[in-house]
Structure 1
Amino acid sequence: MTGFYHETAFYGTDDDFLTIAVPFVEGGLRAGQPTLIACAEKNTALLRGALGHEDAVIYLPGADHYSRPADAIASYRDIFGGHALAGATQIRTVGDVPHPGWGVPWDWWGRYENAVNQAFAEFPLWGLCPYDTRITPPEVLADVARTHEYIATVSGEHLPSPEFGNGLPLSTPVPDVLELGSPRVTLVDATPAAVREAVSAAITGIRLTEDSAHDVVYAASEIVTNGLSHGVGPVRFRLWSDDSRVLVTVTDQGAGPADPLAGLMPTTATRSAGLGLWILHRTCDYVSMGREEDGFTVRVSIGGSGHT
């Protein structure tokens, strides 16, 4: 096999999860393929119990171990690349992906599921991403069907997903709870320097680490720069905060980046929004990007407990 075979599975019981995942893992082991499990704690425990002491299985931190999808992509690319360089002609992995059923916002993890179709395409990888229908919201399941080319079933079939690639982009980003209040700062078509000055003044007194305060100022300046350089005016900047968290949004009237990898893959491109977006995705506690009623919005949260 060459390239990335991206498959999902929908299950409603623990037994159904094992019925799908265990043969997948055992098939990889029988073939002598590197077989990796990158699930959350519950599914990892289920697989350990079903597989017994199988030393050939490689257990990795699940995607929930990474607070940022860009970190997960970078780490998994290193792991898959290492196996490929060692001569693996097929790699198998079972991995859970965070979503609102776990109390985690979906926006950037939905983008992750879309982006890995390209980010992992160079590896001989068969990836199975199972979703528990008992806790996964319907809109997430719809996005999953659109981002996975194949669906594994309890009966052992591996079927093409009829929804694959249909209806992208993904679900509309969800506003932050801080947006229920009035913004502390609103600027329209302001220069990056003016935004930096306004943000520096606004976050004085908020309980942020020195690094987080720097990240807020950088993020605000970078997103506004991107909006002015690559978007369509007017470009509106807004900032909200509580005593320990800052939220900034930048909205313009453009379409936003066409590349699903924007912000999620390392890049050295300095003439596009790519490098700045990648830095944001590695430093901010939450980033969402997408079309909303009033335009294309980039939303970042820093500090506190993250996006709510």
Structure 2
Amino acid sequence: MHRTNTDRPGSGGPVPATGGRSPGYRHDALVYDDVDTLTAVAAPWLLEGLAAGDAALVAAGPATTGPLREAVGHDPRVLVVERHALYRARTPTAITAFRRFADEHAAPGHRLRVVGETDYGTTAADWREWQAYEAVINTALRPWPLWGLCVFDAALPAPILASVRKTHPRLVTADGRSANPDFLDPATYLRSLPVPVEPLESTPPALADDDIGDYTGLRRRVRAWLDTVDGPDDVLEDFLLAVDEMTSNAVRHGTLPAGLRLWTAPGRVVATVRDSGSGLDDPFAGYGPAHGADLSHGGMGLWLARQLCDHVAIRRDADGVSVRLTTTWS
């Protein structure tokens, strides 16, 4: 795979000036037992920010948004975004959206305060994607004038609540804001996250080439195979582009031999692209283009794949590096 140490999430967009222009990112967590507890903490925090010149945004579920809007007196300065527009999109898209909101709404020297309620989804792969996101944004949003108050229902599954404590530098309760002793360095945390097992990988693939010699011919075979899959054309086209990007990276920048395997099941396609090298050792790889805002330099393959597929899993072992791409539809 393409070896890069510059595919950092902090790249890929205009970086606000530091110093007076940008106060920089804060990332807090509030675990609440009921909505009354949440609003008692979050509403005064939003109003305090508005009084100080900060902007305000709520990206939460309806059970949270309604009471919170009421608690701030339906103040029109509080922007409200349906959370699935952010948290059920792919993770790089959510990062880009928050950067854009900050650029558009934070006045010079002030922040955009965000009450955010991440939707972790229902599968192990979903959980991992958004657990990783909560770690990544500590770096991805660092230069942006944002202050995130991430709110979590105490009834969420225990593994998610455990990840909350590892990914947020500060915790907020009714008694105030304090340093989180369980917070882990984001890179350390990302490397500790296990990759969920994909049962299809233990079955015979629908298409396989374990020593790619004819890259152009393989691409035609992949397209022909996808033409037989019963799925939405636009979704399958995105998947084809992601497979093409990862296969191209493996052949052109990785260590040969490189290979590709494909599987399908009702409502799902999976691809694993492998090379024999030892690259892709950066846990932030693919959360931004490798060379920042100047896309003319390339380095966008993994970043595109993360936006085109529902799940992207990178694994390294004694045999090399693999990237698993998964796309689903209903």
Query: Can you list the C-alpha shifts for 1:97-152, whole angstroms capped at 9, x where unaligned?
Result: 121458970233233222322332222221111222312341x3333333322121
2:92 to 70, 83, 90: 70
Q: Check if 1:174 corresponds to 2:192.
A: no
1:59 partner SS: strand
Residue matched to 2:302:
277
Q: Is the 8 A contact 1:63 1:95 kept in 2?
A: no
Match of 1:239 in 2: 262
1:154 is the counterpart of 2:174: yes
Q: What do residues 15-55 of structure 1 show as CA deviations (whole Å, max 9, x unaligned)? A: 33233322322321232310111112222123123333222
Rounded to whole Å, the distance in 1 between the matches of 2:304 and 2:150 is 27
Q: Secondary structure at the match of 1:157?
A: strand
Q: 1:135-174, CA deviations, whole angstroms, 9 ceiling, x for partnerless residues?
A: 2341x33333333221212322322343231543252222
Question: Quick check: 1:143–1:171 contact (8 Å CA) kept in 2?
Answer: no
- Name 1:136's counterpart in structure 2: 157
The yes-or-no answer on 1:258 pairing with 2:282 is yes
* Paired residues, number: 301
Aligned to 1:112: 133
User: Which structure 1 residue ranges, 5 or more long, are not aligned?
Assistant: none
Partners of 1:107 and 1:11 in 2: how far apart? Answer: 22
TM-score (norm 1): 0.83
Q: TM-score, normalised by structure 2?
A: 0.78
Partner residue in 2 for 1:163: 183
Q: Give the alignment of 1:27-46 within 5 angstroms.
A: 27-46=48-67
Code of the aligned partner of 2:27 = H
CA contact (8 A) 1:249 1:297 kept: yes
Which whole-Å CA distance do the structure 1 matches of 2:279 and 2:131 have between them? 18
Q: 1:87 to 1:227 in 2, by over 3 A?
A: same
1:278 positional shift: 2.0
Q: Which runs of 5+ in 2 are unaligned?
A: 1-21
Q: Bigger shift: 126-135 or 151-160?
A: 151-160
What amino acid does structure 2 have at the position aligned with 1:159? A
Equivalent position of 2:221 in the other structure = 198
Counterpart pick for 1:3 among 8, 24, 27: 24
User: 8 Å contact 1:9–1:130 — kept in the other structure?
Assistant: yes
Percent identity (aligned) = 28
- Deviation (angstroms), 1:275: 0.6
User: SS of 2:300's equivalent?
Assistant: helix
Match of 1:81 in 2: 103
Give, in whole Å, the separation in 2 of the partners of 1:103 and 1:41: 24
1:217 aligns with 2:272: no
State the Cα distance separating 1:81 from its structure 2 match.
Answer: 0.7
1:209 CA displacement: 3.8
Report the RMSD for the aligned CA atoms in angstroms: 3.0
